[in-house]
Structure 1
Amino acid sequence: MQRRGVLAALAMSGLAAPALLRAQPAWPSRPIRMVIPFPPGGTTDILGRYLAPPLAAALGQSVVIDNRTGGNGAVGVVETLRATPDGHTICMSISTLITQALLTRQPYHPIDDVTPILHLANVANILVVNNAMPIHSVADLITHARANPGRLSYGSPGIGSSVHLSGELFAQAAGIQMVHVPYRGGGPALTDLVAGNLQLMFGNASSTLPFVRGDQVRPLAVTAATRQAYAPDLPTIAEAAFPGFAVSEWYAMIGPAGIPPPVVERINHEIMAIVGTPEGRAKLLDLGAEVVGGTPADFAAFLRTDMTRTEALIRSAGIRVE
């Protein structure tokens, strides 16, 4: 019998498990590379850099942040999925893992080529405008946009992001025309908004809250289905104008397909030990992120469901690559 057949037979009897576990090299055996597929300053980077130090302490190896930008997150995802699936390369990914695969011809499948590790958090967006704009409410924005068709521009981290989808769905619901300006990340778009090169943005809460708290932009509403604890006075867009309006971005840890399950479970466990406590949840909430958590299997099931939902949303919004 071939060696593989012998191992399979032993595994069936339960005799091979201890030997196989001893044969696996210790993990981690070197620093962990955490790929961030967006520039510094955006929500993905903020969350990744928050996790890196305590994760390094838990694993006994340094966690090195590697910003690989471009393609609305696709460049960093591709870099991750090409890595050896041993758990030493992971990626803080977002919803664009799916939208980029649906909207463009990326060299990966967002489910088959991915090891789902953890659905970390959901982050709603905050509708903000430049402080110089004569707009102080959602109603003001709609009125101004209707009086100035095509003259308002809003930024996003890229086509298919929740920031972009929020703008497209809002414009569709309001019957207005706005110009979408995609950037390489949320940080650069927010910088241009403050400078007056953009008029508004549906910015991810984690990266936008510091600008709101610093009075650098004017907040109008949140895209979540309910009001958010980090900004309880801000209405939802559903309250202010369009019942049923709700958009958020999910943030998750992934790796290339084939990472050994014990390694996947260890990473999942250690990250949840950081964010799953009351203190950890409060910290992420202060950053505008609501912890989701769950097992790798939970996240795998979510990915399959979200791919179907996102495909329908893209069709309904008529989104195309620009």
Structure 2
Amino acid sequence: MSAAAMLGATPAALAQSAKAWPSQPIKLVVGFPAGTSPDLMARTLAEPLSQLLGQPVVVDNRPGAGGNIGAAQVARATDGHTVGLMVNGNLTIAKILNPATPYDPITDLAPVSLIAVAPLVLVAPNSAPAGGPAFWSAAKASGDRWNYGSPGIGTVAHLGMELIKVKAGISPLHVPYGGNPAVITGMLGEQVNMALLPPGLAMAQVQSGKLRAIGVTSAGRSAVVPGVPSLSETGLPGVELEIWNAVAAPRQMPQAHVARLAAALAEIVRRPAVRAQIAAQGWQVVGTAPQGLANRIAQDTATMTDVIQRNGIQAK
């Protein structure tokens, strides 16, 4: 059903359109390699989604450009059965950070559902001062002799650290790596002084005694990383930042189909077994309607655009 036809359609007609969809296998595009966090999330959702919708759900990995290659494929899709599992940057500041990005998150993609969120954990080598006040004092005194690592320019970890620099009045240099595993390697070798990492990666290192957790970027303590203080508790208020996974569709997908997919995803992530799987991956389940994701996109786009413009950050 076209967008024009939908405007004049009755509720019964829209319901029938949604019921008839999907009529073929669904392709769930992931813009990251197999084994990464977005890939694991997609594979957690694929089987129960297939059972609920009555069609196979095939995970299609299209890695590159921080997930933007996969997002661009979704934006271009015209088969009505291609959607994507995406991260913050793909749905917010992709075009702002790099005008050459081959899609626009706002005009080319339709929000479906915010699946899960997690704070980031600020970590440092074990040689770093213990306790928040001592850590921030050392960071200020070190100036640009300290650095911080990130999995790449324009990632949430990069922009989050730039926000922390402003809030804390510190000036470590940015060292972009090719991914979080390389950041961790650099930190274990004490070539990196601090970094924001996803909870699953951070706490594996902290609990094994290899790295020190300084604080978490949630408003208060997070159930995802119990026992780690918020950054506010360490003496750094005003830093609230989350990473998230969401499902988006091509903008031209009929609203009835988007609504049916969102409802199916919301039902799936509330199942105890699926919630447990997602929690084990270091995430807190959300499962919103399309408008809920749209609201989050608008909020995060405004926050991150401010950081990008204030610091003159550009994709390279």
TM-score by length of 2: 0.83
CA RMSD of aligned residues (A): 3.3
Q: Which deviates further from its counterpart, 223-232 or 152-161?
A: 152-161
Aligned to 1:290: 284
Matched pairs, number: 312
Measured in 1, the distance between the counterparts of 2:11 and 2:227 equals 61
1:110 aligns with 2:105: yes
> Which of the residues 129, 138, 143 maps onto 1:144?
138
Structure 2 counterparts to residues 38-77 of structure 1, below 5 A: 38-77=32-71
User: Contact 1:40–1:187 at 8 Å: present in 2 too?
Assistant: no
How far 1:243 moved relative to its partner? Answer: 1.7
User: Contact 1:86–1:259 at 8 Å: present in 2 too?
Assistant: yes
Aligned to 1:218: 212
Identity of aligned residues (%): 31
1:181 aligns with 2:175: yes
Aligned to 1:247: 241
Structure-2 change in CA distance of 1:279 and 1:103 (3 Å) = same
Measured in 1, the distance between the counterparts of 2:115 and 2:41 equals 10
Structure-2 change in CA distance of 1:15 and 1:114 (3 Å) = closer
Structure-2 change in CA distance of 1:189 and 1:254 (3 Å) = farther
> Which of the residues 89, 92, 98 maps onto 1:96?
89
Measured in 2, the distance between the counterparts of 1:212 and 1:15 equals 53
How far 1:230 moved relative to its partner? Answer: 3.0
> Which of the residues 255, 261, 275 maps onto 1:261?
255
Amino acid at match of 1:110: P
How far 1:289 moved relative to its partner? Answer: 1.9
Helix, strand or coil at the partner of 1:27 = coil
CA distances 1:158-181 after superposition (whole Å, capped 9, x unpaired) = 323221122112222222222223
Measured in 1, the distance between the counterparts of 2:50 and 2:181 equals 25
CA distances 1:241-278 after superposition (whole Å, capped 9, x unpaired) = 21222111232101222122333223222222221245
> Which of the residues 166, 173, 191 maps onto 1:172?
166
Aligned to 2:80: 86
Q: Which has the larger radius of gyration?
A: 1
Helix, strand or coil at the partner of 2:220 = coil
User: Contact 1:52–1:64 at 8 Å: present in 2 too?
Assistant: yes
Measured in 1, the distance between the counterparts of 2:78 and 2:185 equals 36
How far 1:21 moved relative to its partner? Answer: 4.2
Gaps of 5+ in 2: none
Structure-2 change in CA distance of 1:178 and 1:67 (3 Å) = farther
CA distances 1:42-87 after superposition (whole Å, capped 9, x unpaired) = 4323322322333333344443333333322222211221222512
TM-score by length of 1: 0.82
Amino acid at match of 1:113: D
1:272 aligns with 2:272: no
